Amino acid sequence: MSGYLHGLECTKCDAYYQGDTTRALCDCGSPLLVRYELEAIRKAVTPKDIACRLPSMWRYRELLPVRDDKAIVTMREGFTPLIPAERLAGELGIGEVYIKDEGTNPTGTFKARGASAAISRWKELGVTKFCQPTVGSGGHAWAAYGARAGVEIHTALPVDCPEIGWKGCSISGAHVYRVDGTVTDVFRIMKDGAERYGWLYAGALREPYRVEGKKTMGIEVAEQLGWELPDVIFYPTGGGVGIIGMWKVFDELEALGWISGRRPRMVSVQCTGGSVVKAFNNGKEECEACPDVPTIAPGIMVAKPFSDFLILRALYASKGWAVAVSDDEILHFMAWVGRHEGIFLSPEGAATVAGAHRMVQQGQLDRSHKVVFFNTATGLRYPHLIQGQPPIIPGSGNIDPA
């Protein structure tokens, strides 16, 4: 199979780069998005064909950017469970609730999708050295897929990130650097390394293929709900790759005739002080850089996402919302969902639940709605957030439940 990639389109000017190219950004400096031969895909494949394929994101092969199947670097990422959560629905006062559990991906996060798509495509194009700023999860995924592909990965993260971040990168043989500074410092240091040493800078939307992997989250939600979309999607937003990708793929699915016109409201959830929330509340088209506020959910604290304008476009176009939640609200819902649904959410995933709780309180959501929460990582990556300790009894003792 030679793939259906047609070219790369600029998100700001009218530049279009047809065919195969190793460019990562437009000449104007803006992000590029992959365009496909959708008419040819429509004739070649149907949702019925897809239903018979392996449960991984590569079941949507025609909508992914790799030319040759042999180039695909995969560990069966994607096709994660969409878990109904009835007790949570009752607690929140929402009609139907599903948790899209990205924690079952290789390396325990949704970042596996982007790493699989991007490393596959870049290696196919002959690019073999990458760098990736991270708060832990992205670096780990790129390190793991880099190891599988046999390419070189450099990754840096703030020194105060959970240890699993750098340990995961180390076990996969990546070059890992711990930065005694903020995420913004990490971005600068990686960008500088890319310029000096010729690494491909694989930050959010700094190249066009990671978002292609992440968009498969949107296709899966549609397929798992019988090719219908929910009323609202809550997404913990950092660089915005997931929300931009899902909004893009809804256009593609509509053009293919696989979904009808009804789209979900897209809701970005961030930590208190998040720049997307501030810009949304002020009706702005771009974010102003916010200070790096320490938080237990580092994935959703980005001072100014490179593709802020694309996140905001998706929020406005979907009549969505943006909401900031506190660490206390996040911890509350991590504990509640763990105790009543058995799912160990990441703090980023718990933030989406806290965001919905706010929307219900403000009368924007009720029992007539069907919603999907994205748990973008397994809570197992955050053992340091579990509060309290069980009692220790001597080996010669007995249990006294009182």
By CB under 6 A, name the one of 11, 109, 275, 378 that touches ligand PLP.
Answer: 109
Asked if 289 touches Zn ion (CB under 5 A), the answer is no
Return the number of the residue (3 or 139) whose C-beta is nearest ligand PLP: 139
Q: Mark 314-353 with x for binding to ligand PLP (rule: CB under 6 A) and - for no binding.
A: --------------------------------x-x-----
Q: What are phi and psi of 222, to 5 degrees?
A: -60, -50
Return the number of the residue (3 or 238) whose C-beta is nearest ligand PLP: 238
By CB under 6 A, name the one of 164, 229, 350, 377 that touches ligand PLP.
Answer: 377
Smallest gap from Cβ 374 to ligand PLP, in A, equals 8
- By CB under 5 A, the count of residues binding Zn ion is 7
Asked if 240 touches ligand PLP (CB under 6 A), the answer is yes
Smallest gap from Cβ 304 to ligand PLP, in A, equals 13
Asked if 13 touches Zn ion (CB under 5 A), the answer is yes
Question: Binds 30, which of ligand PLP, Zn ion, none (CB < 5 to 8 A, cut-off by type)?
Answer: Zn ion
- Segment 23-62, which members bind Zn ion (CB under 5 A)? 26, 28, 30
By CB under 6 A, name the one of 158, 238, 264, 379 that touches ligand PLP.
Answer: 238
For residue 337, give Cα distances in angstroms to 92, 287, 342, 345, 368. 11, 32, 7, 7, 22
Q: Which own/partner pairs from 282-285 qualify as long-range (CB within 8 Å, at least 24 positions apart)?
A: 284/312, 285/309, 285/312, 285/313
Q: Cβ(63)–Cβ(36) under 8 Å? A: yes
Sequence-distant (≥ 6) Cβ neighbours of residue 345 within 8 angstroms: 99, 333, 334, 337, 338, 353, 375, 379
For residue 151, give Cα distances in angstroms to 64, 106, 123, 142. 20, 18, 8, 10
Other CB atoms within 10 A of residue 15 CB: 15
Other CB atoms within 10 A of residue 151 CB: 18
Smallest gap from Cβ 37 to ligand PLP, in A, equals 26
Return the number of the residue (123 or 140) whose C-beta is nearest ligand PLP: 140
- Residue of closest CB approach to ligand PLP: 299
Stretch that binds Zn ion, among 21-29, 43-51, 78-86, 115-123 (CB under 5 A): 21-29
- By CB under 6 A, the count of residues binding ligand PLP is 18
- Segment 14-33, which members bind ligand PLP (CB under 6 A)? none
Pick from 270, 248, 364, 374: which is nearest to 322 by CA? 270
Question: Binds 314, which of ligand PLP, Zn ion, none (CB < 5 to 8 A, cut-off by type)?
Answer: none
* 393 alpha-carbon distance from chain centroid: 42
Smallest gap from Cβ 353 to Zn ion, in A, equals 38
* 378 alpha-carbon distance from chain centroid: 13
Asked if 241 touches ligand PLP (CB under 6 A), the answer is yes
Which parts of 6-104 fold into alpha helices (H)? 38-44, 47-51, 86-92
Residue 124 to residue 120: CA distance in whole angstroms: 6
By CB under 6 A, name the one of 135, 174, 259, 365 that touches ligand PLP.
Answer: 135
Return the number of the residue (135 or 149) whose C-beta is nearest ligand PLP: 135
Sequence-distant (≥ 6) Cβ neighbours of residue 334 within 8 angstroms: 344, 345, 347, 350, 379, 385
Name the β-bridge partners of 152: 129
Return the number of the residue (10 or 45) whose C-beta is nearest Zn ion: 10
Q: What is the DSSP letter of 240?
A: -
Stretch that binds Zn ion, among 15-23, 236-244, 314-322, 372-380 (CB under 5 A): 15-23
Stretch that binds ligand PLP, among 36-44, 47-55, 66-74, 239-247 (CB under 6 A): 239-247
Residue 78 to residue 306: CA distance in whole angstroms: 25
Sheet holding 232-236, edge to edge: 82-84, 96-101, 370-375, 232-236, 265-271, 321-325
Q: What is the DSSP letter of 377?
A: B
Binding residues for ligand PLP, rule: CB under 6 A, are 109, 135, 137-138, 204, 236-242, 299-300, 346, 348, 376-377
> Where does this chain bind Zn ion (CB under 5 A)?
10, 12-13, 15, 26, 28, 30
